[in-house]
Structure 1
Amino acid sequence: MTALIRKIHRWTSLLFSLAVAAIFAGMPVMTLPEWVYYLPLPPLAVLLPTGIYLFVLPYLGKPEGRMQAAE
């Protein structure tokens, strides 16, 4: 399950980055319609919960016992 969420997060972040880069590249060339500026929002809505899950994931694991001293 975690591998799937990680893959979704990775590809969505690529899509989000491309959308933002395309907007910035298109701004000096021509006047963009207002709806174009909202294109990064759906990927951002996916990135938020998956990113929070991946951030919290290490803290949800089993607590590790004490480390034993080297002999």
Structure 2
Amino acid sequence: MNFSQFMRQGHRWLSILFTLTVIANFAVMAMGAPPMWLVYLPLPPLFLMLASGLYLFALPYAARGRVKG
């Protein structure tokens, strides 16, 4: 598995983790005021998804630049 495939697979798993933390957040909010650690729990996967998503977004442009030049 090369780095690009690893990044793509990691991005997919991070999106699943992020979705589960958001669902947990809403479920606990329905029962009352959630603890602060649960409110901020979706942020780490979100920032990692931002980094991996920007990398995946830039891949085709970087490959196009390597082919031309």
**For the superposition of Structure 1 and Structure 2, which TM-score range results when normalised by the shorter chain?**
0.7 to 0.9
Picking from 5, 8, 13, the partner of 2:7 is 5
Provide the C-alpha distance between the structure 2 equivalents of 1:23 and 1:35, rounded to a whole number of angstroms.
10
Indicate the percent of aligned positions where both proteins have the same amino acid.
46
Consecutive aligned runs of 4 or more in structure 1 exceeding 3 Å deviation: 62-65
Q: TM-score, normalised by structure 1?
A: 0.80
Picking from 48, 51, 57, the partner of 1:49 is 51
User: CA-atom RMSD, angstroms?
Assistant: 1.6
Provide the C-alpha distance between the structure 1 equivalents of 2:16 and 2:51, rounded to a whole number of angstroms.
16
Supply the AA of the counterpart residue of 2:53.
G
Pairing of 1:28-67 with structure 2 (within 5 A) = 28-62=30-64
Larger proportion of helix: 2
Provide the C-alpha distance between the structure 2 equivalents of 1:55 and 1:48, rounded to a whole number of angstroms.
10
Q: Report the alpha carbon displacement of residue 20 of structure 1 after superposing the two structures with TM.
A: 0.5
Q: TM-score, normalised by structure 2?
A: 0.82
Bigger CA radius of gyration: 1
Aligned residues: 65
Q: Tell me, which stretches of 5 or more residues in structure 2 are unaligned?
A: none
Q: Tell me, which stretches of 5 or more residues in structure 1 are unaligned?
A: 66-71
